[in-house]
């Protein structure tokens, strides 16, 4: 048995190892093997789709722009600028992920309507997950950790720039346009 395997077994809680062996599921340490923080190692249902996306498996080693979105908000047109950023920076390693939420009471009640607004009205091609809470005790695991590291979103379209190691580098309020010099300069710094 290699030293790295022995170290993993020594560091892993016994309950995880036992349940992993019994259930045939990978131990939690597997997320660390790809250099991904645990809070991103969750399966999220894709917006208006049956498939899921695991942010660790799909985007390990990449910088993230995580945004809480809403379909019926004055900031909803920012989808266009977010899509432009996706196109401009994806080859350099930036991944845009949208988290629709009704935490501020401005999301469509129907996933089909949310999808139509994102995909049809604004031409979104970046990853969008199903609607989930982003504030309080009900917040999804990604936004619980973003709040712990930085702060909770105060409104829709709060933008979190997250380094490949999972650390929040900067948070931008709703009013900061993704096309602004301030925002693109922060992305450039993140991708250096």
Residue 21, pLDDT > 60, answer: no
**Cα 95 to Cα 88: distance, rounded to the nearest angstrom:** 11
pLDDT in the model for residue 35: 74
Domain locations in the chain as residue ranges: 1-33, 34-191
Q: Which secondary structure element, helix H or strand E, spans residue 33, and what is its range?
A: helix 29-33
Q: What's the pLDDT tens digit per position in 36-67?
A: 899 999 999 999 999 999 999 999 999 999 99
Residue 188, pLDDT > 90, answer: yes
Residue 23, pLDDT > 80, answer: no
CATH homologous superfamily, domain 34-191: Glutaredoxin (3.40.30.10)
Q: What's the pLDDT tens digit per position in 90-108?
A: 999 999 999 999 999 999 9
Residues 29, 13 contacting (CB under 8 angstroms): no
Strand partners, 54: 43
Give whole-number Cα distances, 162 to 71, 72, 87, 90, in Å. 23, 26, 18, 14
Residue in this structure with the two tokens 């990449």, named with its chain if needed? 62
Give ∠ CA 23-129-65 in degrees, rounded to 5.
110
Residue 110 CB: number of other CB atoms within 10 A? 12
Catalytic (active site) residue 73: yes
Residue 31, pLDDT > 70, answer: no
């Amino acid at each position: 048995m290699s030293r790295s395997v022995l170290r993993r077994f020594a560091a892993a809680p016994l309950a995880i190892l036992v349940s992993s062996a019994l259930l045939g599921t990978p131990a939690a340490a597997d997320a660390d093997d790809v250099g991904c923080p645990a809070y991103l190692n969750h399966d999220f249902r894709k917006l208006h789709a049956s498939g899921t996306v695991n942010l660790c498996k799909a985007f390990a080693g990449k910088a993230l722009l995580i945004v809480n979105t809403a379909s019926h908000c004055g900031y909803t047109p920012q989808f266009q600028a977010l899509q432009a950023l996706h196109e401009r920076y994806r080859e350099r390693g930036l991944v845009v992920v949208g988290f629709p939420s009704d935490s501020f009471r401005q999301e469509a009640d129907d996933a089909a309507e949310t999808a139509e607004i994102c995909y049809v009205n604004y031409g979104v091609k970046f990853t969008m997950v199903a609607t989930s809470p982003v504030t309080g005790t009900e917040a999804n695991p990604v936004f619980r950790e973003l709040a712990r590291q930085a702060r909770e979103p105060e409104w829709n379209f709060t933008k979190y720039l997250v380094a490949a190691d999972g650390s929040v580098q900067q948070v931008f309020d709703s009013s900061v346009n993704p096309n602004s010099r301030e925002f693109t300069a922060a992305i450039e710094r993140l991708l250096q």
